[in-house]
Amino acid sequence: MALKIKDIIITPVAFHDMPLLNSVGVHEPFALRSIIEVVTDGDTYGLGESYGDSTHLHRLQKAAEQIRGLSVYDTNGIYQRCIESLVGDTTTGGDGMAGMVTTASVADKVFSPFEVACLDIQGKVAGVPVSDLLGGRVRDNVPYSAYLFYKWKGHPGEPDDEYGEALDAAGLVKQARTIVDEYGFKAIKLKGGVYPPAQEVEAVKALHAAFPGVPLRIDPNAAWTVETSKWVAKELEGIIEYLEDPAPEIEGMAAVAREAKMPLATNMAVVAFSHLPSSISQGAVQVILSDHHFWGGLRKSQALAAICATWGMRLSMHSNSHLGISLAAMSHLASATPNLDYACDTHWPWKRRDEDVVVDGSLKWVDGGVAVPTTPGLGVELDREKLARLHRQYLDCGLRKRDDTTYMKKFHPDFSADIPRW
Ligand SMILES: O=C([O-])[C@@H](O)[C@@H](O)[C@H](O)[C@@H](O)C(=O)[O-]
Ligand SMILES: [Mg+2]
């Protein structure tokens, strides 16, 4: 069967985003992504989605040139070519994560969308969903969490957005109600690191009172010192299911972990396989937030899951702003990962309903989760008209990399993104 990679098309897109606050600033009016189409000599196409920053786009283009001609089954060969395409690349950053994760393996990030697209093709050709290629579904519905953000009422100079302002506990409780009512999420995460810790602790307590029994988490993206983190851990004992990235680095997390009663989770201190030995030997984190976009695709994320199971660590899933191809890939992976212990993160509610690149209705939200597609491949198809619209938006919006800090400084010139801050 003709399954050699004939062509790869990489299309940068931009979709509207809301002014969500975090420790490094505030989301800009558009989020950037890259849409990857891998086309075989038999004209079957597979889809991948990744970051849209120009540095990353350039790396994807270079890798794409080198993997044309390989078989879609040869993902080891594709990985090797991705590594080779990075030789001599000295650029740093540009990973679309605004300083949240800076040291993840670059090759893993470049390889990931090509692997996902190849698995999409393999599934289409075999007539099975990607979850079957990953060992089969252990759950048909993948639970996600309500991901709350402190936020402005709208981008400065623009009308209020549909969620409006959330700058205090009452605003967050209202936001949680709106999101939970719409999606049915059964767990709630708060993005912290925005206000002094005591204020954020009060907000979590208010959420606990408003949603009794609902598992909660807070993630300040390492904005707290070890001492502050220990204080927060004590305050939130019995209230949160895990404390995500309270303090910077493996050593900081290890120091907090020695006193905190709840598990510590990370998508910042441990973001590549090379970080695992040190973290494990120090007992620094108990929950890894996996993310196939930077852990090297779906199969390497499963390898990470096996390591977690072996070493008694638990598994959750991280998210950045994303579109439907990523949601499909995340859901297939989560459905075929037995030891996924928590509801996954997703930024999904923050994008406009009508903005995506996949055909409407390909992904269904049921009871706080995504019903894992059972059609061949990822189960999502490109809507070329929508893709063209979001590409036009990319060309017009002028943004070429994610930069929450510069955008924040435009309105608050004294803002500093240095961490730890408190
Ligand atoms: O979108 C954001 O502002 C998040 O803070 C994101 O950049 C983080 O990577 C992420 O969601 C996290 O859990 O740290
Ligand atoms: Mg996080």
Q: Per-residue pLDDT tens for 335-384?
A: 999 999 999 999 999 999 999 999 999 999 999 999 999 999 999 999 99
Of ligand 1's listed atoms, the one at least distance from the Cα of 319 is 11
Q: Per-residue pLDDT tens for 238-261?
A: 999 999 999 999 999 999 999 999
Mean pLDDT over residues 15-42, rounded? 98
Say if residues 417 and 193 touch (Cβ distance below 8 Å). Answer: no
Q: How long, in residues, is the chain?
A: 422
Phi/psi at 400 (nearest 5 deg)? -125, -5
Q: Which listed residue (191, 293, 322, 347) is catalytic?
A: 191
Mean pLDDT over residues 17-30, rounded? 98
Position 87 scores a pLDDT of 87
318 given a catalytic annotation: yes
Domains and CATH numbers, the chain: 5-128+384-396 (3.30.390.10), 132-371 (3.20.20.120)
Tell me the sheet residues that pair with 59. none
Indicate which ligand has the atom closest to the C-alpha of 22: 1
Residue type, position 369, single letter: G
This model of the complex carries an ipTM of: 0.95
Distance of CA 2 from the midpoint of ligand 2 (Å):
42
The pLDDT confidence band at residue 304, using thresholds 50, 70 and 90, is very high
292 given a catalytic annotation: no
Give 223's DSSP letter: -
Give CA angle at 97 (174, 372), nearest 5°.
65
Left (φ > 0), alpha (ψ -120 to 50) or beta: where does 314 sit? beta
CA dihedral 239, 173, 422, 404 (to 10 degrees): 130
Residue nearest to ligand 1 atom 3, measured at CA: 22
DSSP percent split of the chain into helix, strand, coil, nearest 5: 40, 20, 45
Give the strands of the sheet with 369-371, arranged side by side: 141-143, 369-371, 364-366
Handedness of CA 202, 204, 205, 211 (dihedral sign): positive
Whether the pLDDT of residue 317 is over 80: the answer is yes
Neighbouring CB atoms inside 10 A of 259's CB total 12
- pTM for the complete prediction? 0.97
Residue nearest to ligand 1 atom 13, measured at CA: 318
